[in-house]
C-alpha cells in the first residue's frame, strides 16, 4: 500500500536555483531536485512537494504577499492530500528576513505552532494525526542579491538548528539538521547548489524509512 509524504517547505523544497539577480527564476528539473530524487528512493511512498518560494512559518509578508504565510495554507494542503502519513517540515529560512524582526527562538516557536496544526488536523490515515519529521535548514550567508533582504539573518541562522532541535525533542518529533549535510550557495547565500540535491534526498529517505517504517 502506497503511503503519502507531504514536503512542506519553501524555495529550497521547490527546487529554486541560486540567484545571481532578484529577477532570476531558475528551477532544477524535476528529476534533479531533491524532492524528485527522494521520490525515486521511496517507491512505496507518494512524495508530494509543496515548496513555495518565500514561504514563512506564520508571517504575512508585507512585501511578497500574505499567501507566503505557511500557517494560512497548511490546513488546506493537509485536507487536499489526505490521508497524509507523514509531513516533512523544512521552514524558517524566510523568517530570517530583516522585515520580520524575529529571532531563532521565535522561529522555533512558530514551527511548534505548525506542529500543533498538523497534529490537530486529523489528516492522517483513519483520521489520525500525520507523523512529522522536523528539519532545520542550514545557516545562511549574507551575500549577493539577497544580502540586504536577509540583513542580520546570518547570525540568527547559526542558532536555529539548536532551537528547532529543542522544540522537536519536547514534542517527541524526529529531527534532522540539514546544516550538517549541505551548505548554501556562495552565490546568494540562501539556496542550494546542485550538489546538495542527492545528499538531501538520501538523508531524508533514510530518515523516513527509520522513523516511519
Q: Give residue 57's pLDDT.
A: 98
Based on the number of CB atoms within 10 Å of its own CB, is 165 exposed (0-12), middle (13-18) or buried (19 or more)? middle
Domain annotation for the chain: domains and CATH numbers = 3-211 (3.40.50.1110)
Per-residue pLDDT of the chain (213 residues; tens, 9 = 90+): 899 999 999 999 999 999 999 999 999 999 999 999 999 999 999 999 999 999 999 999 999 999 999 999 999 999 999 999 999 999 999 999 999 999 999 999 999 999 999 999 999 999 999 999 999 999 999 999 999 999 999 999 999 999 999 999 999 999 999 999 999 999 999 999 999 999 999 999 999 999 999
Q: Give residue 1's pLDDT.
A: 86
Q: Residue 130: name the closest of 78, 182, 92, 174 by CA.
A: 78
**Would you state the cell numbers that stand for residue 55, as one nine-digit string?**
514561504
Q: Give residue 110's pLDDT.
A: 98
Q: How far is CA 122 from the centre of its chain?
A: 21
| pLDDT tens by residue, 79-138 | 999 999 999 999 999 999 999 999 999 999 999 999 999 999 999 999 999 999 999 999
> In which residue are the cell numbers 522536523 written?
134
**Would you state the cell numbers that stand for residue 133, as one nine-digit string?**
519529521
CA end-to-end distance (rounded Å), the chain = 13
Amino acid at each position: 500500500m502506497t503511503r503519502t509524504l507531504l514536503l512542506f517547505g519553501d524555495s529550497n523544497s521547490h527546487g529554486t536555483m541560486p540567484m545571481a539577480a532578484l529577477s532570476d527564476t531558475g528551477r532544477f528539473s524535476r528529476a534533479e531536485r531533491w524532492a524528485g530524487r527522494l521520490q525515486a528512493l521511496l517507491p512505496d511512498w507518494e512524495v508530494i512537494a509543496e515548496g513555495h518560494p518565500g514561504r514563512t512559518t506564520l508571517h504575512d509578508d508585507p512585501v511578497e504577499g500574505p499567501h507566503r504565510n505557511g500557517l494560512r495554507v497548511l490546513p488546506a494542503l493537509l485536507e487536499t492530500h489526505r490521508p497524509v502519513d507523514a509531513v516533512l517540515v523544512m521552514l524558517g529560512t524566510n523568517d530570517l528576513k530583516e522585515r520580520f524582526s524575529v529571532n531563532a527562538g521565535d522561529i522555533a516557536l512558530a514551527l511548534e505552532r505548525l506542529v500543533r496544526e498538523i497534529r490537530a488536523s486529523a489528516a492522517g490515515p483513519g483520521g489520525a494525526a500525520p507523523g512529522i519529521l522536523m528539519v532545520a535548514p542550514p545557516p545562511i550567508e549574507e551575500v549577493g542579491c539577497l544580502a540586504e533582504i536577509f540583513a542580520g539573518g546570518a547570525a540568527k541562522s547559526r542558532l536555529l538548528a539548536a532551537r528547532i532541535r529543542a522544540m522537536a525533542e519536547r514534542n517527541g518529533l524526529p529531527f534532522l539538521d540539514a546544516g550538517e549535510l549541505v551548505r548554501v550557495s556562495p552565490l546568494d547565500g540562501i539556496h542550494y547548489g546542485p550538489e546538495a540535491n542527492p545528499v538531501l534526498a538520501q538523508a531524508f529517505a533514510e530518515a523516513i524509512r527509520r522513523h516511519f517504517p
